[in-house]
Structure formats: C-alpha cells, structure tokens
A and B are shown apart, each in its own frame.
Chain A
Amino acid sequence: MAWSDAELVSRTLSGDREAFGKLVDRHRRTVFALALQRGFQPAEADDLTQEVFVKAYKSLGGLQDHAAFARWMYGIAGHVLADGARSQKRHRNEVALESAPEIAAESQTQGPGRDTADVLRALAELPEEQRVVLTLRYLEGLSPKEIAERLGEPRGTVRSRLHHALQYLQLAFGFKAGAGAGNSAAGSGDVAEGAVR
C-alpha cells in the first residue's frame, strides 16, 4: 500500500530521507510541468524543480497539516518559479519552446516535442490556478474530486477552472466544434465510440 503524503511527511520529519524521496517521486513531474508552462527551458525547469523541493525540505518543519503537503509545496513552487522568472528575466517565448527538443537532447532531459511545445504555449496563457488544475488532471490523471482534496479547494471551483481551461484550449487549438478538419465517417464513428466508453 502506498504511503499517504501525510505519512511520508511524518516519516521525513522523523529522519527518514527516503520518505522525502518518495514525496519527490510523487510530485516532481507536476512541478516540472508547471515550470515548463512558465516558459523555462527543460534544464532550467529541472533546476527550479530541484530548488522547489530543497526549499520544501528545509521548511518542512513548519508544515502544520501534513496532509496538505502538495498544496503547500505548490505554493512554494509558485514563489520559486516566479522568482526564477524575475531574476533570470526569462519570459515565455516561442523560440525557447520550439527549441526545447534540441536542448533536451543535449541536456539528457526529456523535453517537450513540437506538439507539447504548442500545448505548453497555450497553457502559458491560462491563469496559474487553471494551469495547476489542468496539470493535475492530465499529468497525474486526478479526478476533480481528488484535485479538490489535494488543493483544499471546493470541488465546484476545481470543476469551474477545468471547464474554463478546456473551453479556452478548445478554441486555442481550433478544436471547437465546427472548426478544424472534419473526420471521416468510419474514423469519427470510432472516436465517438471510444469517447463514450
């Protein structure tokens, strides 16, 4: 059985560094994705993700509600990423995202491809809270209920953020009904079938 965040925090605080490693394993991709969404290069995002967790580790003693680790850590991530953006004067730009694969190859970091870069660019236009919800949903596969529990937000709020984010992205990608290429009869039938399953 997997340890809960609260249990892992408690174990970390009792001196079990492996427990903190497990927390990192659990949340690092989300933090990394949030960094990429802010326009950082994969290598920079990697460093910033590390910085987030180091800060979290150092401040762990001040965390009152151990079960709220994720929410608390996202807060730290927000500060670290904002500081990173300010101090390095890095802003979202297309070049950075487009060139990500090459950089990723050089740095041995799995970076976003062209499609991913498009998605990240579109996500960058979303408010932070919508980005977080969307990332938790599609990166970690959490349900709105689980996202609400993790963020300590009402489920309705999470749903609303998800709804608005999806609506925006539909338009951004030209997926909105009527836009974009139509589908073949057989193919669309299959898609519809799959979608409803």
Chain B
Amino acid sequence: MSDAPTPPRLFSVGPPQPGGDDLTCEQARRQIERMIEERDLKEVERHLLLAHVRTCAGCKAELESFRRLEVRLKESFANLDTSPHFNERLMAALPAPGSSDSPEWSRALKSAAPAKKSAHPQGPPSGAIVGVQGKRSLWRVYWLPIAMSAMIAVALTATFLRTRGTESDAPPMVANLTGDARRTHAGIQSPLQRMDPLQNGDLVSSGSEPVNMTLTSGGQLIASVLLAPDSQLAVSNRHQYRVVAGAAYFQVRKDRPKASAAEYFEVDAAGAANVRVTGTAFIVDVAVAPQLLRDQRPTSGVAMVCVEEGSVEVHSAATRSKTQVVAGKELLVTPTETALADSDIKARLSRLTQSSVSAAVPVKVETPAVKPVPVESPRLPPTPAVPFSWDMRVEAPLDLAGKTLAEGIEELADRLKRPPQLAALAEQMRGPLVARTELSFSIHSDMPLRSVLAWMARDVGGGFETGAEGQKPFFTTAPKGNLEGAAGWGAPPEEIRKALERSMEETLSESRTLAELVDRLSRRAGVTMIAARGAARDAFDRKLAEQRIALSGQTVLQKLGEVLKESQLGCAWYDHALFIAPPSRIEALTNVERVVPLNSALIGQPVNAAWVSDLKELVRALRYPAPALPLRGVHLQLDALHGDASLAEAKICAEVPSVDIGGLRFKSGVLGHALVASTLSELGNESPLVSEVAGLLSQPVTPGPVSDMGMLISQAANMVSIKPKVRFPALSNQAFVFKGISLGEALEWSAWTSGFGLKLEQNSIVISDLQDCYGPPSLQVVSLAPLVARKPNLAAEFPELFTRLLPQLYPTFYADTRVRCIGGKLVFHGDRRQLQLAQRLRSDIELALDTPAAAKLDTWVPPYRQSIQANLAEPFQGTGKLTRSFAGLLRQSELKHQLRCTVLVDPVSMRERAADQITDLDVSNSSVGKVLEAIAAKARLKVILEGDIIWLRP
C-alpha cells in the first residue's frame, strides 16, 4: 500500500490543514449552532462544515457535544406520555353538555340549538323568536349604512375587475424566448422580449426563423410554444390562444395554473378547428392556411392533439363533437371530422422540435371538403441520424463563458441540433439563478452532454440530474456531487496530462480574473478547466486586480501549477474537467459513495499474499484511521462490502477465490477514490509485497486445538511484529477449535477472551487493553440509510431487526447496551468494536435484502449463525458414555471433527477446570450441541453463541 503510487501533487487535494478550509472555526461553530437550532443548513454549507470538522478537532468535539445533547434530549422526551387511557378519563371528566357545571359557551350552544329549528314548519320555540326579533331590530337601525356599503363594494369590485381582470384572465408572461419575435399591442409593433407580459389582443409574429417561448403565469409554467416561421399567434389570456397564420406547437403542462379545475386550455385554429382541452399534459399542434383565411373560409385549420399523460377532452367547434383522448393516443381535428389514432408521443415530440420548425410548411387545405390530413404531418422534419443520449459527446470548443445558463442551454441545443430532451430541459430555465448568473467557463475538450450540463449547473450553484429511467432531467438548486456514469476522479488520464504539457510562452499577466486565466490555459491545452466560484476565487481575483501576476512556466501544466500555488487552490480531474477549487471544496463536492468492483481485481487471480495484504492494509487503514497510516488526512470511510464474506474477516481473495465479491463500497473525496483505485489497480497487477501485517491477518489458522496463546503468537510472530502492551496470561490447555477463521481473527478473539483487544499500529499488531484498542465507550451511530435505500418499504422494520439481532448475535458485547433508533440511525453507547459488529450486521442484512430471506426478516439470522445452529443440531456421531477430562472431552475426536466453527473457553475457567474429570457422560442419541452443552454443564459453564464463534463461559 505504501508503495502504491499516489497521484501527482498537482492533482492531489492534500490533507486539509486545520484552519485551511473555507470556514474559520468561528464560522464553523456558528454553523453548528445554526444546524442544531434551525436545521436549515444548505447542502454546500453542510459539506463545508463537514470538511471543516474533519480537520478541526475542536469543532468536531463541539459538533459531537451538540449531537450527544440532542440525542439525549430526544431520547428523554421520546417516551414521555400520559397514562394509557388519559383521553378517555379526560373526556369523562369534562362537564356534560347542559349540566350545571358545563361552561357558559356550552350552555349557550345548548340553548341555541333549538334556534336552528326555527325554520321548521312546526314553528320556532320562543327562544328563537327572540333571536330573530333582535336581528330584525338591528336591520331596522342599520339598513341604510349597510346598503350604501354594499353599493360601494359592488362598484369597487366592478372597477377592479374591469381594470385587472379575473385571475384566469391574468396575462401570460414570456419567461423564456429564443428567436426574433414581434409583438403587436394596441396596433403598435415592437420586439418581443423575455419577461414581457402578453395581454389580451396581443399578436405575436415570427419572422423567417422559428420562435420558441416558455409561457408562465404567476411564476408557474403554462406551456412551451414553438411558433413556426412566418406565423402569427393571437393571445386572449393565459389559456386562450388563436393561431392566425402559419403553425404553432404547444406543449401544455399538466401542472399549469388554473383558476378552477374546469379551466380549459383553448387553441383556436383559424376559427375552424377549435381545441378546448381540460385535463392533464398534452400537446396541441395547430396549423392554418392563411390564404384560405383571407377567403374567410371556415374550413382552413387543422389541429393535432397528443395526450402525454392522463386523459383529456377535446372539443371540436367545427364538428361540434367532443372526444375523450387518453395517453398514447392522438386526435386529428379537421373542419369536418376528428380522427383518433395511436400516438408515439416521444416520436412526435422529437419530430416536432428537432431542428425547430424552420422547415415547417403550413398545411394547405385545398377545398372546403377537406380530406383527412395524414397523421404523419408533412411539415415534420426528418429524424436525425445520431440518436440522442445524455452521454452523447459534445464537441469542443463550445463557448459558454459570459452566457447565462439559459443561453448556454440554447447554445448546446443548437450544437446538438435541438433534441427535444434539451427543449424540455429549457422549460426549467427560469428564475433569477439561471437568468442572472453568467457561466464562467467554456468547453475546450470533448465531454459527455451529461457532464456539460452538470458543470453548467454546478457553476451557477446548482445541480443537474437525469433522474431515474423514464424521468425527465432536471436542474436542482442543491449541488450534487455524484454523477451517474461519471468517470475519472483525482488524477487526469494520460492524454489530458499530455495535453497539459503543451508549451505556452505567454505570461498571461494581462488576465484580470482567475476564470479568465483558467480559460486561457484551458483554451491552449484544449482541456476544459473550471474554477469554482467562492471566497477563494474572489480573493484571488482581488489579488490579480491589485498586482499583475506573470506566469513564467513554459507549459500549461507549469503555469497551472503557478496559478494553484498563488491561489492556494487545489485541482482535481473530476467529471471530464479539471476542477480548480479549495481542497476542502473538492473533497466535499466529490465526497460521494462509490462502489469499486473487486471481482476483476481479485477473482481468478493466482494466490498472492501480496495483494491480500495490500487490501487488508487498505481496509485496516479505512477502518482504523490511525495517525501513522498513510491515508491520514484523506476522508475515506469504508461503509460496507458486498459479497459473501466481510473483507475485514480476510476470508476472501486468495484463500477463497471463488467467493463472489460484489464490490467495495466506500465514501470518499477524489483523493480517497484515487488511492483505492490505484491500490486495486496494483492488486490486479500482482503488486509486490508491501506490508506483512495485513497478510498475517488473512492467513488461515490450521484447524484444531491451540494449546495456548503463546503458540498462536509464535506462529504469527514469524511473519509480523507483535507487541503485547499488557501482561498476557498464558492460555494453556485452551481448547480452541479454529475453523473457518483467520489468524488475525483468532488473535483478536483470543485476546478478547482475556479481556484485551488487538489493533494495528505502524505495521505491528498491538495487544492492549480494550479501551486502548477500541476507544473509550462513547456514542456510536450507525446509519441505516444503505438498507433503507435498498428497501424503503422495510424502513420501519430495520430498527427492530437490529435491536433484536445485536443482543441475540453478540450477547456478551451487547449485554448492557441499549440500542435505539433515532432519525434513521442506530445509536448506542459503546466502543469501536461494538460499532464494527453493528456495521457488520448491517452488511449482512444488506446482502440478505437481495435474497428471498428479505420476506422473513422477523425471523432472519445471518448465514454464519444459521450455519452454527445447523451444525449444533446435527446428530452426534459418537455413542455410549464418555469419560475424560474437561479439556480432553472438548478435544474428543468426534466432537472436534463434527464442529465446523470455532469454540473458545473462558481462559480462567479453562485453567481451573481443564483437568476436571467428567465421567459417564451419556452421548447416545444426542446432537452436537447437546454434547457440547453437557460437557460445559459438567464444568459449570454455559454455551454462548457469540457472533460466529461458540463461547463457553461461567
């Protein structure tokens, strides 16, 4: 591991230094308080805070102290409640309605009840008459002011409605606009601009190019409208439009604003084909023939309605028909008839929007006796040769710097011949974020479309997701680090490194901003480089403004190095671009959960202790981030391992090459990922022996009894340095039966039986007291998120599963530990070993979720426990009665052969009772477990199943 190549320094994030993060300690503490008190930290703030607390012990302690307090408070309040039948008793204690002690309001209610009956024909009771009379007298007194007030109110309302219109008449707004359009308002023509309202009677005209508009009302999207060249669209209000000339395509949103559920969306095709739709998402494609309009022929229009989702009702004014159209169908509305046909909505969308409607030719209806227009409209452009994919390459260069996100998308759409998927994405281009923030980078090397969009989003402080299959892509306001399918982390690939070696003699001293500098470097190398926005970049910009910085390096790479040095920024190859940002930011942004497949590295390889040890050391380092280990300062947290065996148990790899190891899952920043990747790469290449320590741990122990710990240590000491820090009792006469267990595990269990622990320290195995090895008991938290993510429907069952299984599987470890579930996390007070066991159980459960066992989680136990239980239930092969010493019986050959798991005996008991004679132990018709129990009982010991071992103790 230590020989594993690390990425070049230029691309290394490096260990974040205390105080070197974006946050100062004071800021971090304020954030912590805010997080605890308000819970309103944004994603970026959380990442920054996380990055800070990782490197700052003081703030970490502060955060932990708050968390502990929160947990304690929540736990304390969680179970506080009144007695079980409190409500019933209370309701019984409330005064009965009408009783003497009932409240005044209740009595009034009682007396008022008959008043309601006053309208009854039988005649009102007297009380009611009084009430009515009272009201009548009031009316007599105030009738004049009331009447005047009503008249004024009516007048004001009428004035308001005349001037403002009703809500449903609120004008639509052009939230987004591409192409040159003109608006004719009150007879005056002017260029249509973004954010212009469209008022009643307005006429929008396109020129020789198509016009694409996104219409909103009250901030909510109504529809996307594509107006063909030389077309005209008359607007009445937000839901009534008329295609006066040419053709228009409307994609109407399901969630468009409506004054009422009955509000329809109407598109009038030249007064002939009138489409009125109430319902969900649909498309209206309308064309008219203007020359026919001039003839005032009423049969000049045609409309196509495609239903995207749900069902809609289409009214055809011309034929006076009403047709129900469901999703997947389309309705052709002509002046004389309507024709329903199957619709491929995606194909239609694609055809309608690809390369705009520039080629659109309005349907010409020759005669009033119109033939049904073919469903395949002649004005649709041909399907492009290259199929759309979010991973399709975007060829460099693509100038984006200085453009808004909306403009950037348009630029991209143009480059890719306007695929409909991007048109759909463009619908989201609204709001101040995308309207005002200019992109700060350009694309100088080919990138996948997905990456371009993600970088554009990140650059304006947001995120981009393509979502699950079938979902539409969307921009988010929360930054998202991980990308599906994104490849390349940390160090750039070879071809990029070569590109960075290009010579560059200019000093670039005229550059005034970091973004500008980076863009120049980027352009020269032909590599996309992106400088993150933020305080660090601003500070460097100020520095650049105050003093000219001349870069003396002869290559792009050297100059980039100088920039990074001057700006104190880091650089990492991330998602097909060189990302320049503060180190903590890079780690935070790229701090994502990843899965590295291990199969290719491990399965099918010859037995090689070297990569076993490498991997073991890596895992040890991940699990025990001791200061001496080379991964210090790198955030890398092993979360779980897919496969039949836990990596920590060293049962995989060389010894069991057939085990299907799914992958190593971990959470890390770019450098952590680079380290894992390079380690695995080295493992795959049969790397030289790096460390013997981990190799030791993975060596299988020869099955059979071990007479004492000293022998075990001697066996291990041949391979590695073992440093007992404690006086270790000799485990003479111990009757270990090691099966399916590694030497490291055997050592750890052996140490544990004597109340000690094991830890790795500077390539040595240290045997020390439990606290030294596993830390003092403290609050431990295990997230259940990985399980919930896999089976959300079982989320409610997981906490109970853990609280049942942990004490059941590890009765000694969890004897006095109360495990609770708080906010989707297991919380308990324990040491690191207990934490590891809980994490192991989580991995076991996670694996079980993919098997039929998931259906019976309430009775499920891990496979290793099932195996032990099955083993103990097997019939004992021996017969008759046994007579031998306690230790001798444990080593009895039949028992030894039949047991397929490790048996440990409490060392003190073993010392005292090893020689105790047990006579006439009847083993006839007994099971392996019963024999073991009988032997234990004779020695006054109990048989305890502890994890995957059997443990005999008092």
Instruction: Indicate which residue in B58, B90, B780 contacts A187 across the interface (CB closer than 8 Å).
Output: B780
Contacts of A14 in B (CB 8 A): 109
Contacts of A3 in B (CB 8 A): none
Residues of B in contact, count (CB < 8 Å) = 72
Which residues 250-296 of B have a CB within 8 angstroms of A? Answer: none
B60: nearest residue on chain A (CB-CB)? A192
Instruction: Indicate which residue in B65, B103, B624 contacts A61 across the interface (CB closer than 8 Å).
Output: B103
Contacts of A176 in B (CB 8 A): 65
Contact assessment for A192 and B63 in the assembled complex, using a CB-CB cutoff below 8 Å: yes
Contact assessment for B49 and A196 in the assembled complex, using a CB-CB cutoff below 8 Å: yes
Does residue B81 face the partner (Cβ distance < 8 Å to A)?
Answer: yes
Instruction: Indicate which residue in A50, A113, A162, A166 contacts B86 across the interface (CB closer than 8 Å).
Output: A50
Does residue B777 face the partner (Cβ distance < 8 Å to A)?
Answer: yes
Q: Using C-beta atoms within 8 Å of the partner chain, give the interface range for chain A.
A: 35 or more
Interface of A is mostly: helix
Question: B69 CB to closest chain A CB, in angstroms?
Answer: 5
Instruction: Indicate which residue in B65, B76, B106, B783 contacts A190 across the interface (CB closer than 8 Å).
Output: B783
Does residue A127 face the partner (Cβ distance < 8 Å to B)?
Answer: no
Contact assessment for B50 and A193 in the assembled complex, using a CB-CB cutoff below 8 Å: yes
User: How far, in angstroms, from A66 to B41 measured CA to CA in the complex?
Assistant: 33
Q: What 1/0 flags go to A105-138 for Cβ under 8 Å of B?
A: 0011110110110011000000000000011001
Contact assessment for A13 and B105 in the assembled complex, using a CB-CB cutoff below 8 Å: yes
Which residues 557-588 of B have a CB within 8 angstroms of A? Answer: none
User: How far, in angstroms, from A195 to B50 measured CA to CA in the complex?
Assistant: 9
Contact assessment for A186 and B832 in the assembled complex, using a CB-CB cutoff below 8 Å: yes
Known A-B contacts A163-B33, A192-B60; the reply to A197 vs B109 at CB < 8 A is no
Contact assessment for B776 and A32 in the assembled complex, using a CB-CB cutoff below 8 Å: no
Contacts of B33 in A (CB 8 A): 163
Contact assessment for A112 and B778 in the assembled complex, using a CB-CB cutoff below 8 Å: no
User: How far, in angstroms, from A109 to B796 measured CA to CA in the complex?
Assistant: 26
Instruction: Indicate which residue in A119, A178, A181 contacts B72 across the interface (CB closer than 8 Å).
Output: A119
Known A-B contacts A192-B54, A196-B50; the reply to A159 vs B835 at CB < 8 A is no
Contact assessment for B67 and A194 in the assembled complex, using a CB-CB cutoff below 8 Å: yes
Contacts of A59 in B (CB 8 A): 103
Question: A7 CB to closest chain B CB, in angstroms?
Answer: 17
Contacts of B39 in A (CB 8 A): 143
User: How far, in angstroms, from A120 to B97 measured CA to CA in the complex?
Assistant: 38
User: How far, in angstroms, from A38 to B82 measured CA to CA in the complex?
Assistant: 15
User: How far, in angstroms, from A112 to B73 measured CA to CA in the complex?
Assistant: 12
Instruction: Indicate which residue in B61, B77, B835 contacts A138 across the interface (CB closer than 8 Å).
Output: B77
User: How far, in angstroms, from A119 to B106 measured CA to CA in the complex?
Assistant: 41
Which residues 599-625 of B have a CB within 8 angstroms of A? Answer: 623-625
Contact assessment for A169 and B73 in the assembled complex, using a CB-CB cutoff below 8 Å: yes
Contact assessment for B783 and A193 in the assembled complex, using a CB-CB cutoff below 8 Å: yes
User: How far, in angstroms, from A54 to B104 measured CA to CA in the complex?
Assistant: 14
Q: What 1/0 flags go to B29-73 for Cβ under 8 Å of A?
A: 000010111110100001001100110001011111111111011
User: How far, in angstroms, from A177 to B780 measured CA to CA in the complex?
Assistant: 17
Question: B886 CB to closest chain A CB, in angstroms?
Answer: 38
Known A-B contacts A139-B77, A163-B37, A187-B835; the reply to A175 vs B65 at CB < 8 A is yes
Contact assessment for B80 and A116 in the assembled complex, using a CB-CB cutoff below 8 Å: yes
Q: Which of A28, A109, A190 has the most CB of B within 10 A?
A: A190
Question: A40 CB to closest chain B CB, in angstroms?
Answer: 12
Contact assessment for B825 and A194 in the assembled complex, using a CB-CB cutoff below 8 Å: yes
> Which of these binds chain B: A15-23, A68-76, A81-89?
A15-23
Does residue A64 face the partner (Cβ distance < 8 Å to B)?
Answer: no
A22: nearest residue on chain B (CB-CB)? B87
Instruction: Indicate which residue in B66, B83, B624 contacts A170 across the interface (CB closer than 8 Å).
Output: B66
Contacts of A182 in B (CB 8 A): 61, 775-776, 778
Question: A150 CB to closest chain B CB, in angstroms?
Answer: 16
Contact assessment for A115 and B72 in the assembled complex, using a CB-CB cutoff below 8 Å: yes
Interface of B is mostly: helix
Count of CB-CB pairs between chains A and B under 8 Å: 216
Known A-B contacts A185-B626, A192-B54; the reply to A170 vs B94 at CB < 8 A is no
Contact assessment for A110 and B79 in the assembled complex, using a CB-CB cutoff below 8 Å: yes
Known A-B contacts A21-B91, A49-B82, A119-B76; the reply to A194 vs B781 at CB < 8 A is yes
Contacts of B831 in A (CB 8 A): 184, 187
Contact assessment for B83 and A187 in the assembled complex, using a CB-CB cutoff below 8 Å: no
Instruction: Indicate which residue in A21, A36, A53, A187 contacts B781 across the interface (CB closer than 8 Å).
Output: A187
User: How far, in angstroms, from A116 to B371 measured CA to CA in the complex?
Assistant: 82
Question: A74 CB to closest chain B CB, in angstroms?
Answer: 16
Question: A105 CB to closest chain B CB, in angstroms?
Answer: 12
Contact assessment for B97 and A15 in the assembled complex, using a CB-CB cutoff below 8 Å: yes
User: How far, in angstroms, from A9 to B831 measured CA to CA in the complex?
Assistant: 51
B46: nearest residue on chain A (CB-CB)? A196
Contacts of B54 in A (CB 8 A): 192
User: How far, in angstroms, from A36 to B624 measured CA to CA in the complex?
Assistant: 44
Contact assessment for A191 and B779 in the assembled complex, using a CB-CB cutoff below 8 Å: yes
Question: A11 CB to closest chain B CB, in angstroms?
Answer: 12
Contact assessment for A192 and B65 in the assembled complex, using a CB-CB cutoff below 8 Å: no
Contact assessment for B87 and A185 in the assembled complex, using a CB-CB cutoff below 8 Å: no
Does residue B374 face the partner (Cβ distance < 8 Å to A)?
Answer: no
Contact assessment for B61 and A173 in the assembled complex, using a CB-CB cutoff below 8 Å: no
Instruction: Indicate which residue in B36, B46, B105 contacts A197 across the interface (CB closer than 8 Å).
Output: B46
Contact assessment for A36 and B84 in the assembled complex, using a CB-CB cutoff below 8 Å: no
Contact assessment for A185 and B625 in the assembled complex, using a CB-CB cutoff below 8 Å: yes
Contact assessment for A17 and B91 in the assembled complex, using a CB-CB cutoff below 8 Å: yes
Contact assessment for A196 and B80 in the assembled complex, using a CB-CB cutoff below 8 Å: no
Contacts of B415 in A (CB 8 A): none
Instruction: Indicate which residue in B60, B84, B106, B623 contacts A186 across the interface (CB closer than 8 Å).
Output: B623
Contact assessment for B94 and A57 in the assembled complex, using a CB-CB cutoff below 8 Å: yes
Instruction: Indicate which residue in B38, B65, B624 contacts A185 across the interface (CB closer than 8 Å).
Output: B624
A141: nearest residue on chain B (CB-CB)? B74
Question: B794 CB to closest chain A CB, in angstroms?
Answer: 20
User: How far, in angstroms, from A59 to B72 measured CA to CA in the complex?
Assistant: 37
Which B residues are closer than 8 A to A by beta carbons? Answer: 33, 35-39, 41, 46, 49-50, 53-54, 58, 60-70, 72-77, 79-84, 86-87, 89-91, 93-95, 97, 103-106, 108-109, 113, 623-626, 637, 774-783, 825, 831-832, 835-836
26 contacts between A and B (CB under 8 A): A17-B94, A28-B86, A33-B77, A36-B80, A54-B94, A57-B94, A61-B105, A109-B83, A110-B79, A110-B81, A113-B79, A119-B76, A170-B69, A177-B61, A182-B776, A182-B778, A183-B776, A184-B775, A187-B775, A187-B835, A189-B637, A190-B783, A191-B67, A191-B779, A196-B46, A197-B783
Known A-B contacts: A15-B109, A181-B778. Give 13 more (CB < 8 A): A21-B87, A29-B80, A46-B86, A58-B95, A112-B76, A116-B79, A120-B76, A139-B77, A170-B69, A180-B68, A185-B625, A186-B624, A188-B778
